[in-house]
Structure 1
Amino acid sequence: MKVLAVDTSSIVATVAILEDDKLIGEYVLNHKKTHSQKLMPIISEIMLSAELKASDIDVFAVAIGPGSFTGLRIGVATVKGLAHAVNRPVVGISTLDGLAYNMPFCRHIICPIMDARRRQVYNALYRWVDDDLMIIEAPRALALEQLIQELKEKNEKVVFTGDGVEAFKDMLSAGLGDLCAFAPASVRMQKASSIAQLALRKALRGETESYLTLAPFYLRKSQAEREYEQRCCGKSQ
């Protein structure tokens, strides 16, 4: 089974092709260009290098969030278009699941964090049990102080990963001391190969969906939506 996976949930644009358990190719670009400029050229280049056409792909996968609202929309729309063109199923994968999957067989709790602004982080908690990545806490948006307090109460070693590490490393170290550790920078960024592997597992269990129903998972409303609701509520009072 061939899987083409995309992750555009952050500044990183990454695309991978997996055939069963073999990684055919992966492209990771961590640069300032927008995803609308770079995603399709990356997909075209990796497909050309792998000597594949869209019709050769069995399943298309994408990181559906949380993350950058614009980035998620671009990634999801691109995968929907590709799947529609060749009538293939799709699989949506949590961005946080993908980040945790970058750290196979870590013995400690894994906590991917992404900067959600307003002193909040998108996060979830995971643990490897044998060769399965188990979810301890599902994806949520929390105030950083609330997350630190929750982890203090667990009193277990936690390894942080994701782009939130750079922004909040000092606060996490101060709040958790020896209970916290940080993944190397090389595995803290999104990797489409992890999205592809998670998608393959779901596809083999029959857990795919139509491109018609695929949608981003934002976790919270955008700033524009919140401001609109506040204006509407103010007018109705």
Structure 2
Amino acid sequence: MKIFAIDTSTSRVASCYVDDEKKVFIDLETHEKHGLQINQIVEKMKEVNFGDIDVVGIGIGPGSLTGLRVGISFATGLGIGKKIVQVNSLKLIASNLKFYDGYIVVVRKAREGYLYGAIYKGQRDGNLIEIEAPFIDSIDSIREKAKKYNDKVFIGDGAQFFDERFEDDDINFPSSRNLFKLVSEEIKVGNFVEYVEPMYLQKSIAELNFEKRLREKQNLENMQNENK
């Protein structure tokens, strides 16, 4: 089986091509626009016949909106007439710590003080358990949400806002080898899709601020009730 996969949800593009004879893993961060990064990946895979690919794997975010659009457009173009699988880009980042015996809080920068997030439980066998599905929320709300989890660590480009984090920057970005692993898992269980659905999770600033005010109001009411 010939598999090609790509994730363009962050500034570091992860891509791989694997068949029975060849394995190519590329993690590319050049600070170029995603379109140029994809061109560089194609150049590095110049020995690959993209027309012979059997399965295309696509990272669907959440993450950079422009990056997702570029990457998904490229991958779906390759996937015409072929089998396609989708990969959650936050789970892909969490896979960097899949053997961590604790909680993995993946946080990615979204917009104006908000982060994309998801929470997973690592296990010694390397299988991740999803504790909280991908969401978008304020930094303070995520910090509050994570308080109930002991033995936790924050990873992703939003980890800088939290104390419980690693200094190794590489774990904050997708890995092409982990991308291949997740794509292979989707293929194994037959999770093929006809249409790619990006996980944008974007709400308007007005919606996010309204939800924030509701939470603050509820917290104030709870404090007042406790003091009665």
The verdict on a shared fold, with TM-score over 0.5 as the criterion, is yes
- Aligned twin of 1:218: 200
- Aligned twin of 1:232: none
- Aligned twin of 2:111: 117
Distance 1:24 1:108 in 2: 31
Please list, as runs of the form range in 1=range in 2, the aligned pairs for 1:62-141 lying within 5 A after superposition.
Answer: 62-84=58-80, 87-129=81-123, 130-141=125-136
Residues 14 and 179, structure 2, Cα contact 8 Å, conserved in 1:
no
**How far 1:26 moved relative to its partner?**
1.4
Aligned amino acid, residue 74 of structure 2: T
**How far 1:126 moved relative to its partner?**
0.6
- Aligned twin of 1:164: 158
Residues 7 and 13, structure 2, Cα contact 8 Å, conserved in 1:
yes
Residues 6 and 59, structure 2, Cα contact 8 Å, conserved in 1:
yes
Give 1 or 2: higher strand fraction.
1
* Aligned with 1:146 (options 129, 135, 141): 141
- Aligned twin of 1:16: 16
Aligned amino acid, residue 217 of structure 1: M
**How far 1:23 moved relative to its partner?**
8.1
Aligned amino acid, residue 178 of structure 2: S
| Higher RCO, 1 vs 2 (CA within 8 Å, ≥6 residues apart) | 1
Structure 1 SS opposite 2:147 = helix
Question: Do residues 25 (structure 1) and 24 (structure 2) align?
Answer: yes
**How far 1:204 moved relative to its partner?**
1.1
Aligned amino acid, residue 158 of structure 2: G
Aligned amino acid, residue 15 of structure 1: S
Deviations 1:108-157 (A, max 9, x none): 11111101122111010111243321100000001111111122123x01
- Aligned twin of 1:43: 42
Distance 1:77 1:134 in 2: 30
- Aligned twin of 1:177: none
> Following TM superposition, where does structure 1 have runs of at least 4 consecutive aligned residues deviating by more than 6 angstroms?
none
Distance 1:194 1:185 in 2: 16
Question: Do residues 186 (structure 1) and 161 (structure 2) align?
Answer: no
Residues 160 and 183, structure 1, Cα contact 8 Å, conserved in 2:
no
CA RMSD across the alignment: 2.2
- Structure 2 unaligned regions, length at least 5: 208-228
Distance 2:158 2:165 in 1: 13
Q: How many residues align?
A: 206
Structure 2 SS opposite 1:132 = coil
**How far 1:183 moved relative to its partner?**
6.0
Distance 1:131 1:190 in 2: 16
Identical counterparts, % of pairs = 29
**How far 1:59 moved relative to its partner?**
1.1
Give 1 or 2: higher helix fraction.
1
